[in-house]
Amino acid sequence: MMRISRGPAGVRGALGAATCAAVAVAAFSVTGHARQARTVSDGVYTAEQAKRGQQLYTAQCVSCHGEKLQGVVGPMLMGEGFLSAWSGRSLADLVDKIQLTMPLQTPNSLSRPQAIDIAAYMLQAGSHRAGPTALNDAALKQVTFTAARPPAAATAPAGGVPIASASNLAQFMRGVTFPNANIIFNVQVKDPGADKPSAPVPFDYLLWGYTQYYGWQAVDQAALALTETTPLFLLPGRRCENGRPAPTNKADYQQFTQDLVNLSKDLYRASQSRNQDAVAGMAEKLNDACANCHKVYRDVGTAEGGGLGTDRCRQ
């Protein structure tokens, strides 16, 4: 420890050093706090970055997300739906998604600076002002999207755990509805009562899972899963893949949902008979139940319906 002189000069020196230290600590605290508190509205990118990002966006992103970032077959990249999806998250999360998962057919083909430039353009398109300092990789985690209020529509059942949509409608169907429906459809081409599938070599968790819950048990479970999960199509706050709100308030959409629930219950009863023909005969009804809704809300304006998907989920 350094000894401090007891004379006037020593005291003044000690006080000066203490004052400088206090100022340095305060400055550090303010700077650290400011960095932690920065949001995308605080001028975190430059106009030049956004200009470069617009060129990249036009070349790489516009076919899926639209010229005005309004969403086509991919989600919207500005507006309420976008901000709600990214509420409270860091800009690093957005840049990671751009760099590592986009474009959809050639993921990880963009460099980190390119992904940052595209993010800058998205901020500009969303009316977040530019600033004097270019956005860089080191600053990404210190910039966040403003946290939105939790959806008022989120509900808490008897258990007290709130239920709110975490996926868009396409993600939910691809993760839940699609694989379970395919188990039902597969009964048309394979008898569920056939021999037990053998363990995969080399080991594969997905294929191994089919050896644990297989045959008629898998058909039972698929029918029950469709019965219990289909009502989640109507979960308040659910959005379509292009960012539009799912048409949960439309009478026909509600009826399509109820029809699938009813059919799933019938499928479970048919599965209990362990009769391949009985379940296979209902597979076409399952296909029709899905197609009735798809023709109105999914396929309209898509390649299936003669367009690019701009009208999906239009209410």
State pLDDT tens for residues 19-49.
Answer: 444 444 444 343 444 445 799 999 999 999 9
Across the range 249-266, mean pLDDT stands at 96
pLDDT in the model for residue 32:
44
Q: Where are the domains of the chain?
A: 47-142, 169-298
Kindly report the CA angle at 310 between 55 and 258, in degrees rounded to 5?
140
Strand-pairing partners, residue 245, are: 239
CB under 8 Å to 153, separation ≥6 — which residues? 164, 236, 237
Nearest to 47 by CA among 121, 103, 137: 121
CB under 8 Å to 45, separation ≥6 — which residues? 119, 120, 123, 124, 130, 131, 134, 135
Q: Is 36 helix (H, G, I), strand (E, B) or coil?
A: helix
Instruction: Pick from 14-28, 82-96, 125-139, 292-306 the range whose average pLDDT is largest.
Output: 125-139
pLDDT at 66 over 60: yes
Instruction: Say which CATH architecture domain 169-298 belongs to.
Output: Up-down Bundle (1.20)
Instruction: Say which CATH architecture domain 47-142 belongs to.
Output: Orthogonal Bundle (1.10)
pLDDT in the model for residue 219:
96
| Lowest mean per-residue pLDDT among 101-105, 140-144, 176-180, 302-306 | 302-306
pLDDT at 154 over 90: no
DSSP 143: -
